[in-house]
Chains A and B, each alone.
Chain A
Amino acid sequence: MVWSWIPGNAAVIRQYTLDNALLGIVPALLGLVISVPLGIACVRWRWLYPPVLSTASVLYALPSLALFIVLIPYTGLSDTTVIIPLTLFSLCVLVPNVVDGLRSVPEPVRQAATAMGFGTLRRLVRVELPIAVPLVIAGLRVAVVSSISLASVGQLIGVYSLGYFFIDGYQRDFPTEIFVGLVLIIALALVCDLLLVIARRLLTPWRETRRRREIPRVMVAGAPRAAGA
């Protein structure tokens, strides 16, 4: 490690960290914005879910680098070329979690809301979506962490991120640079992950009042799959 390289390059390090954060967070948020209505539609019209799920699992199998290349003729070497595939990957993780979250609403709760005079829309917004929050955020955590780390692959087609340090460090045979890139990407991912855990606690205060010790759970591993699977 050549420690002096770090302060000497603080400006670029900051710039690429911001670029990388943007390329990771934007796809996860876009994925969230699209997956909520899509998930609601899949719960409402059951026949819609199996084809959506199959499409998602096929899409998820495609290497990110290949998808970036597919988009080059249309979106050039811009951030969009990286953001679109990462958004698709986020969708693959988020849609099943939104659907499982909405389906996890206990029937008595739904009936109680209806009995209190809630219409379909109000019941969805005030009762069903809040109950789905923990699963949706679990999906969002996977989406944002993977997007942050995958964004660095975009450097191979010239879209700047912390991946720059991998390429530059490799070409100059300079491990310090590679280490800095690795550490910053992992740190960035962990910070976003932590922020989402905090957000979940704030959004679902009722979960903490039960004082139940939280059992460590593995988040949906790899390809999207339904709950209980």
Chain B
Amino acid sequence: MSFLSYAWDWLRAAAQWHGSDGIPVRILEQLGYSALSLLIAALIAVPLGVLIGHTGRGAVLVVNIANAWRAIPTLGLLVLAVITLGFSPLAWLIPLVVLGIPPILVNAYEGVAGVDAGLKDAARGMGMTPWQQLRKVELPAALPLIMLGLRTGAIFVVATATIAAYIGLGGLGRYIIDGLATDNYGEVAGGAALVVLLALIVQFLFVGLRRLVVPAGLRNQARAG
């Protein structure tokens, strides 16, 4: 039997779609945890990245964080958090936020730091105050990269939230972890299929969001992201 037939058989069974551990509830849980973590991470990382990019202070720190971030094993951080903090919401929230920050921070920094010097000169030459320069020129020019950072962060947070089921978090990862524990491959496959679907939806959502917020003149930049 293939992965898809396992997943399909499990998804077709009506029992999965009802109750407090039903699929709709699990999807909402997963989206809720991910959205909350991403929001907190963005509230910290976007202003900080923009500030560092604008002033140039602390750039070396950002570069080092960006490079070290990938080496951190998410599963290790999650189990460490739950062992030291106990079963509280902070045990999953802290790792999810911490892991979501670097991609957002780095892209916000790179976006603002990389704004064309001629553009900044022109803004100053037009008599804009530093605040106006930042708000009217540097931020819009940095938006493609800021959006890319948010999207990368979102992808990362959704994936990590799935793994966080191992330390008892709800969401779609529950099916995977519970299915593995009881050798029920159908449940595991069904959960994985839903996770894949959700990850794709989140990604397309961010592609659409970027179209909405990025000024038309900048849309060709960062297209590959």
**Residues on A close to B: CB < 8 A?**
53, 57-58, 60-67, 69-74, 96, 142, 145-146, 148-150, 152-153, 155-157, 162-163, 165-167, 169-170, 173, 175, 178-179, 181-182, 185-186, 189-190, 193, 216-219, 221-226, 228-229
B17 within 8 Å of A (CB atoms): no
A222 touches B152 (CB 8 A): yes
Determine if B90 is an interface residue (Cβ-Cβ < 8 Å).
no
Residues of B within 8 A of A (CB): 1-3, 6, 59-60, 62-63, 66-68, 70-77, 79-80, 82-84, 102-103, 106-107, 109-110, 144-145, 148-149, 151-153, 155-156, 158-159, 162-163, 166-167, 173, 176-177, 180, 185, 188-189, 191-193, 195-196, 199-200, 202-203, 221-225
**Residues of A contacting B72 in the complex (Cβ-Cβ under 8 angstroms):** 149, 182, 186
Contact present for B155 and A73 (CB under 8 Å): no
Q: Quick one: given A58-B200, A222-B149, are A170 and B110 in contact (CB under 8 Å)? A: no
Chain B nearest Cβ from A113, distance in angstroms = 28
Tell me whether A224 and B155 are in contact (CB under 8 A). no
Q: A165 — which chain B residues lie within 8 A by C-beta?
A: 76
Per the bound structure, the CA–CA distance linking A217 and B195 in Å amounts to 34
Whether B80 and A61, one on each chain, are in contact in the complex, defined by CB atoms closer than 8 angstroms, is no
Docked complex Cα distance between A149 and B111 (Å): 27
Q: Which one of B74, B79, B148 has the greatest number of beta carbons of chain A within 10 Å?
A: B79
Instruction: Compute how far the CA of A63 lies from the CA of B107 in the bound complex, rounded to whole angstroms.
Output: 21
Are B199 and A189 in contact, CB atoms less than 8 angstroms apart? no
CB distance from B5 to the nearest CB of A (A): 9
Contact pick for B71, options A148, A155, A167, A221, CB 8 Å = A148
